[in-house]
Amino acid sequence: MKFLSKVAFFALSVLAFTTSLSRGQGSSYNLIGFGSPVRSSNPVIEAMGGVGAALEGSRTINDINPADWTWLNRARFDVALRFEYSSSQLGSLQDQQHFVHFNGIAFGAPFWDDYKASIALGYSPLTSAASEIDYSDSIGTRSYVSKGGVNMLYLGVGARPTPGISLGARIDLITGDIRHQNRIAFNNTESDSGEFERDYLVSGVRPTFGIELIGDSLGDILNGFAFGASYSFATNLTSTRETIITPINSSLDTTMDVAGVGRYPASLVAGISYRLSYRYRAELDYSLQDYSTSYVYAPVAITGDPTLRSSNRIAFGIERAPNGSGDFGTSFGLDKWALRIGFSYGQLPFSPGASNGVKEFAISGGVGIPISYESLLNITAVAGQRLPTVTGEAPNETFFRLGASVSLSERWFVPTRRE
């Protein structure tokens, strides 16, 4: 864990003390621990501030709460991409970074109408460790590169044992490859340049459970309300630290693998939504995830990574449902589109230096454009800031994300009955 602490200190110190920075990729905070959390890989959920515990989403595969899958009335196939830009500033120094990322794929389908039961499977990133810092001085050119992150492969089912209660469960396979590379090229050609790389390969399995209470079936006073919650258990990881040392003037390298353990934190999200009218719905969510007892790698079990802390987040979002299939009467043009807007505020799981952490707030918006019957093109934009509690201890960061997904639900997804 001393190495991880040094990684975080080095990365943040680069912004403070280097004389010449060049463009890289990702956020400088992605260098810490598992990287920055990806709250949801679903652009529909991201456009609403990240709310999804009580979404009642019939046109999207919810990656936050598996109990919400009971609203799927047709088979769906979703695939998503995102672009992220960030601008960091520490004192008089500035750095601009960007990257494009595959943001998930999912398939879900109803299979038992009597219980509104649906099955879903997919892939979703949980964190992003992508970052790059390049700088030069009179000695030479140095770069620090981080790649990868933690991902989730999941399979689960949701059902309604009674009309007012939806339950969901899924199994998540947690996998990750977090790669850190140090490179140096000296201006003096007689000095040996080289590369130092450390990869952390992690894997583990966790269960996730969800519940959704549907107010319309629980009593007249609760008409229009829905309450939801989802809990993912903490995961003990099998971790391997791989060290690779490669002199640039040689084709040979030295590779050392050391087996160890890690721990990925539990997470809890709970929310309440309300149907404002026949097409409009609003939701408020609160989430918790304690990274203070988690770590990417250690030779034996430890109490946690000192660069990580507990995180929390509150989010609010509003959606106007799409009307591509005429559910809400005849409409044309933009009136068929889904409209979404959201806001979020929270504490990130980072403790750079001796500060009390880093706060993040963001606003978001998006549209869902019908492309044929129930299929949608979802586009999302998110803008926000990350601010350390202690000014000057870590970078202020402004970020912008642009996400897009295609959500297909054509007739060929639905079995055809033949006599």
**The domain made up of 2-413 is a member of CATH 3.40.718.10:** no
Residue spans of the domains in the chain: they are 2-413
pLDDT of residue 248: 59
pLDDT of residue 385: 94
**How confident is the model over 390-405, as a mean pLDDT?**
87
Closest CA to 129 of 242, 303, 11: 11
Closest CA to 182 of 193, 172, 174, 192: 193
pLDDT of residue 67: 97
- The total number of residues shown for the chain amounts to 419
Q: What are phi and psi of 387, to 5 degrees?
A: -130, 125
End-to-end, the C-alpha distance of the chain in Å comes to 65
pLDDT of residue 81: 92
**How confident is the model over 276-298, as a mean pLDDT?**
95
Q: Does 134 have pLDDT greater than 50?
A: yes
What's the CA gap between 328 and 312, in Å, rounded?
37
User: Looking at per-residue confidence, does 394 or 4 come out higher?
Assistant: 394
Closest CA to 317 of 46, 55, 64, 49: 49
pLDDT in tens, 200-258: 999 999 999 999 999 989 888 999 999 999 999 999 999 999 888 776 555 556 778 88
pLDDT band per the 50, 70, 90 thresholds, residue 15: very low
pLDDT band per the 50, 70, 90 thresholds, residue 92: low
pLDDT of residue 247: 66
pLDDT of residue 249: 57
Q: Which of 61-70, 167-176, 185-194 has the lowest mean pLDDT?
A: 185-194
pLDDT of residue 19: 37
Encode burial over 22-56: b for 16+ CB neighbours within 10 A, e otherwise: eebbbbbbbbbbbbbbbbbbbbbbbbbbbbbbbbb
Select, from the ranges 135-139, 140-144, 159-163, the one with the highest average predicted confidence (pLDDT). 159-163
Beta bridge partners of 2: none
